[in-house]
Amino acid sequence: MSRRVSAAGCFLRGVALSLSKPYLAVSVWLIQLLLACVLILPVSNALHALLDHSSTGSRMVADPDFGWWETVRRVHPDLLGVLPTAVQDATGVEGVKPGSLAGLQGIGATAISLAFLGIVLHAFALGGIFGALREPHSSLVVFGREGMRRFPAFLAFTLAALAAALAAYHWIYLVTGDAWRDRIEDLDTEGQAMALTAARVGVLLLALAAIKLIADSVRAIWVARPDLPAVSRLFAGVAAAFSRPARLLGVLVLYVFSGAVLYFLWIFLDPSAGGEARFALVPLILAQQVFVFLRSLLKVGYYAGVSEALTRVPSPEYSYVPAAGVAPPPSVSRAPDEAAVDGPSGTI
Amino acid sequence: MPRAKGRSSLLALARNALPAFAGILLTSSLGGAPLTKPIASYQISCRLDAEKKIVEGTELLTWTNTTRNPATSLQFHLYLNAFRNTLSTFWRESGGIHRRDRLPESWGSIEVTRMTLADGSDLLPALAWISPDDGNPHDRTVAEVQLSRPVAPGETISVSIDFRSRLPRVAARTGWKGDFFLVAQWFPKIGVLEERGWNCHQFHSVSEFFADFGDYDVSIDVPARYRGKVGATGVRVEERNLPGERVLYRFRQESVHDFAWTADPDYLVVDDVFREPGIADVQIHLLLQPEHRAQEARYLTSAKAALSGYGRVLGPYPYPTLTIVDPPWGGRGAGGMEYPTFITGGTHRMSPVKENSPEDVTIHEFGHQYFYGLLASNEFEEPWLDEGFNEYMEDRVVGAVYGSDNPILTVFGWRFPIGIPIRRPLDVNRRYFKVAGEDVLAAPSWKFRSAASYGGQVYSKTALALATLERLIGTPAMNRALRLYADRWRFRHPKTADFIAAVNEVTGQNWRWFFDRTFFASGAVDYAVESATSERATPPKGLFEQEGRLVEKNPPDLANPKGWDSVVTVVRKGEVALPVEIALKFDGGHTYRSRWDGEARWRRFRVERGPKLIEATVDPAEKILLDVDRTNNGRLVTPDPRAASRWTSRAVFWMQNLVDFLTVAW
């Protein structure tokens, strides 16, 4: 008897898988931490030079001081450059122009460079995650091996997805923003203008979600179907995304929602506020890293959820054969619409 | 509504909490007699063609030569011609951008089709364009007519003028958007004749206006769909139906120097009354956009706070009405402007309370009823007297009633306050620090290097300089000086020297040096604690006289010194010197304060065998608000790494999240 697999079921199974293989989340967390650590010295030195001897420092322990912040931006443009403005423009009605990157300096420019490096390292990590998820007895070694093995292809997918996302931002958000810049003032009310912006944002988010889900489907199928030629795997991945759009989108929405809940809790509880009395430095750093680790667990859980949504049986590429009774019979756990890609015994 | 109740409580609190306004008795200048003798009075009848965006009118100007010299010509402002084409001085100076908004390519103009004297003599053939400020031959914003017979001193003449005004898409304080009209600078307005000749400037990008007081009687004929939705300078005295589905409104106001009006069939009209003991009631007419209905109480409460706050320092508002216009979406160019008894505000559909919008702009524009309206300084030549003085007073009123603002983060058009207080007056005027040194504050409005410099100097530097002056002479003395200035120059054209004279008179000291260094100089103020050390006192070494001989042995009283030797060096990094205080905070809570005239480039303070120095601060009470860098004003002897460490951890944490966000996406 077949049973339809829900998006929530896939996501929850993905999170359970993530919890069962915590070294995957640890690996992701470590990559992010090491990338961020590149900034520790320049940020720390700049802040200590500016604050340690300053009377303003005591006011800055818990909360930022507007005057100090504005003065530092003005007196030390070398620290952040136009990064704060670019970040604000990115969420502005007209959007951020690519030329804004030219104005970045110092720590701001380094942060953006590190983010690009992070995207490249992420391609490696995704190969490791998808590969290790399909190994019942995987390890950090498997993660590394699978990551390196998939790296060229996954880097290509990542760069293609990034390019598609930037193109979507340009064509859907920037171009429409330019086109409406003058006409938006002709609308009758600000409410209409906000609705128009919301529509632009909504379409952009849908496009970005589609790009991401296609990229993740291709990755999942790339690992799940090593028996197919590369081009076939690519198209099978794209086809898989289009064959289960609702379920995949559901997994993505649950992932975004759970992440948003975490951020909401962080901001609501605000453990870094209140000065030294409420949270000393070491507990604060620990809390921050626990938060990032939870995000990493969710991230791995999302990818496992995507993999679950597309295929749930181990790839025959591996030596592992599930023991009788451990792996559920395909007819029970597979959704009716999974036949095209699932089941190595049927199609491979 | 709870919010309105909350704001009313704020208002009541402010009345009690405004020590700055204490002790100033309110007296009414309303008594039925004319507020001032008119110089330039207008009777205008006009008709709005709402479809063609054209106002056609006839005006009868009654003008008196109040100088000691005969007038051989008349000069007129024809300011709608600023929008005539891109060759006008306004367009050239603005580069097509005004208040960060791109100007629409929608053209405006004003044509004079008839100009005659009472004896019937035709002045139109003698009308010529002049450009007294920049010589721009294409500018058509000032016209001059030569008279065949001079107007003698004290003589009054009448000039009858027909005109046709084409309104632009709303920009730079005038125009239309859909059915909304803000009609300003729309009729031929005579310049100001001074002893040295006509003072009649062109329309510039950043400057405002200057005119003589007079009585206005204006009839406005509009389509019937605007019934009840017309607001204007002064009191509405007549509403009459006209043939052809039209309606006529007539407004009158004495003792003002301009007239503006508005019409929009979408307006929600809200009437309220400002009442305070000892002064006449003021009728408030709020013309509100329907999508801003929720902000009605915010507009009204802030208007009343302004009437109360300004009135207590500068004397009661003398007019019976105040009209507040809330411009529609797309009509931002009409917002944030002042005309006599008539102001335009501005807000957003969803404006967080801590953004203080529309409160800030309402209070600011109302403040111009004093600094521009009653104290009709020359906004071209001394723009700080209206904008800067008003910014200073706005900071006081808003600060007392609403406290600090919050910065606003705009995300895809939604506005969210960030929980960092922006203090008044220091933080809200920080734009001055970005342009410190770019210009001398005391310059004509059109001669600033940029619009940013104009705003930073004229608005913010003036506000900070006056707030600094207040902290140097004390709030009561500042209030008395402001009141003396306001009373003495009400309905006249004061200059900077007149305010300095008021300050000197009240304080009994000559403060000219302060204005020379702040208003009439471009240099920056920046004091800093360069170093602060405190070391345990050690016995001296060397040869010392003991019993008439030099021996290598410390005298008994110096052998075992106790306490700490502390040295603090304070430097003047800026060009401008102002007197400052220095506070040395010692272990055990002792604080030593000293004053320094600030003239030298540096001064060193040495304390021997005292308690351990903890911190040295220059200007600890934050009196010198013009200091461009306050982060160097205080220095700890022992570094405290807590803040930097915590912010480093925050930076790394959010960098991790940024990497997470960017990598999870692709």
> DSSP for B361-384?
HHHHHHHTIIIIIIB---TTT-GG
Instruction: Tokens for B245, please give them.
Output: 């589905």
B652 touches chain A (CB under 8 A): yes
Asked whether the beta carbons of B653 and A292 are under 8 A apart, the reply is yes
Nearest residue in chain A measured CA to CA from B431:
A70
Asked whether the beta carbons of B614 and B584 are under 8 A apart, the reply is no
Alpha carbons within 13 angstroms on the beta-carbon side of residue B496 total 23
The C-alpha atoms of residue A112 and residue B585 are separated, in whole angstroms, by 43
Alpha carbons within 13 angstroms on the beta-carbon side of residue B483 total 21
Are residues B329 and A67, on separate chains, in Cβ contact within 8 Å?
no
Beta bridge partners of B287: B269, B325
Sheet holding B230-232, edge to edge: B175-177, B180-183, B261-263, B230-232
Given CA atoms B368, B369, B374, B380 in this order, what sign does their dihedral have?
A: positive
The C-alpha atoms of residue B624 and residue B578 are separated, in whole angstroms, by 8
Q: Tokens 């030797």 correspond to what residue?
A: B565
DSSP A272: T
Output the pLDDT for position A345. Answer: 34
Beta bridge partners of B283: B273, B321
Output the pLDDT for position A333. Answer: 38
At B617-655, the pLDDT tens digits run 999 999 999 999 999 999 999 999 988 988 888 888 888
- Of A33, A194, A208, nearest to B413 by CB-CB distance is A194
Are residues A91 and B410, on separate chains, in Cβ contact within 8 Å?
yes
Contact residues on chain B for A190, CB-CB shorter than 8 A: 291, 329, 348-349
Going through B557-612 in order, the beta strands assigned E by DSSP cover 564-572, 580-586, 591-596, 602-610
Reference B482, options B596, B474, A293, B659; nearest CA is: B474
Radius of gyration, CA atoms only, chain A? 23
Contact residues on chain A for B636, CB-CB shorter than 8 A: 52-55, 57
Contact residues on chain A for B639, CB-CB shorter than 8 A: 48, 52-53
Output the pLDDT for position A39. Answer: 84
Are residues B409 and A88, on separate chains, in Cβ contact within 8 Å?
yes
Element (H, E) at B109: strand B109-117
Helix, strand and coil percent figures for chain B, each rounded to 5: 30, 30, 40
The C-alpha atoms of residue A301 and residue A15 are separated, in whole angstroms, by 4
- Of A39, A197, A215, nearest to B666 by CB-CB distance is A215
**Low pLDDT (below 50) residues in chain B:** 1-31
Beta bridge partners of B42: B61, B216
The shortest C-alpha distance from B570 to chain A (Å) reads: 14
Sequential DSSP letters for B222-271: EEGGGTT-EEESSEEEEEEEETTTEEEEEEEEEEES---EEE-TTPEEEE
The C-alpha atoms of residue B618 and residue B602 are separated, in whole angstroms, by 12
Contact residues on chain B for A187, CB-CB shorter than 8 A: 329-330
Contact residues on chain B for A272, CB-CB shorter than 8 A: 646, 649-650
Output the pLDDT for position A331. Answer: 40
The shortest C-alpha distance from A344 to chain B (Å) reads: 28
Number of CB pairs < 8 Å for A and B?
Answer: 210
Output the pLDDT for position B494. Answer: 98
Nearest residue in chain B measured CA to CA from A162:
B666
Output the pLDDT for position A314. Answer: 43
Instruction: Tokens for B421, please give them.
Output: 């207080």
| Residue of higher predicted confidence among B16 and A143 | A143
B520 touches chain A (CB under 8 A): no
CA angle B522-B527-B531, nearest 5°? 150
The C-alpha atoms of residue B382 and residue B609 are separated, in whole angstroms, by 54
Are residues A281 and B644, on separate chains, in Cβ contact within 8 Å?
no
What average pLDDT does the segment A205-233 reach? 93
Instruction: Tokens for B62, please give them.
Output: 């009654």
Are residues B635 and A197, on separate chains, in Cβ contact within 8 Å?
no
The C-alpha atoms of residue A266 and residue B646 are separated, in whole angstroms, by 16
Output the pLDDT for position A274. Answer: 53
Cα B50 versus chain centre, distance: 33
Beta bridge partners of B400: none
Substitution target from A110, A189, A197, A203 for chain B, most B beta carbons within 10 A: A189
B413 touches chain A (CB under 8 A): yes
The shortest C-alpha distance from A232 to chain B (Å) reads: 22
What average pLDDT does the segment A14-28 reach? 92
Sequential DSSP letters for B116-164: EETT--B-GGGEEE--TTT--TT--SEEEEEEEEEEPTT-EEEEEEEEE
The C-alpha atoms of residue B443 and residue B454 are separated, in whole angstroms, by 9
Asked whether the beta carbons of B201 and B90 are under 8 A apart, the reply is no
Residues 328-347 of chain B whose Cβ lies under 8 A from any Cβ of chain A: 328-330, 332
The shortest C-alpha distance from A118 to chain B (Å) reads: 6
pTM for the model: 0.88
Element (H, E) at B166: strand B156-166
pLDDT at A201 over 90: yes
Instruction: Tokens for A57, please give them.
Output: 């420092």
The C-alpha atoms of residue B318 and residue B575 are separated, in whole angstroms, by 43
Are residues B652 and A39, on separate chains, in Cβ contact within 8 Å?
yes
Nearest residue in chain B measured CA to CA from A215:
B666
**C-alpha distances in angstroms, B423 versus A227, B276, B420, B479?**
67, 29, 9, 21
Are residues A37 and B652, on separate chains, in Cβ contact within 8 Å?
yes
Instruction: Tokens for B525, please give them.
Output: 């103020």
Beta bridge partners of B595: B581
Asked whether the beta carbons of B171 and B103 are under 8 A apart, the reply is yes
3-state secondary structure of A227: coil
Asked whether the beta carbons of B635 and B529 are under 8 A apart, the reply is yes
B657 touches chain A (CB under 8 A): yes
What average pLDDT does the segment A197-214 reach? 94
Beta bridge partners of B101: B98
What share of chain A in percent tops pLDDT 90?
46
B422 touches chain A (CB under 8 A): yes
> Range with the lowest mean pLDDT among A167-181, A259-273, B13-27, B416-430?
B13-27
- Compute how many other C-beta atoms are within 10 angstroms of the C-beta atom of residue A288: 20
Asked whether the beta carbons of B352 and B468 are under 8 A apart, the reply is no
Output the pLDDT for position A273. Answer: 59
Q: What is the dihedral of CA B569, B570, B573, B575, to 10 degrees?
A: -130
The C-alpha atoms of residue B216 and residue B154 are separated, in whole angstroms, by 20
Reference B46, options B230, B269, B288; nearest CA is: B230
Sequential DSSP letters for B440-469: -SSS-GGGSS-HHHHIIIIIIIHHHHHHHH
3-state secondary structure of B550: strand
Are residues A119 and B662, on separate chains, in Cβ contact within 8 Å?
yes
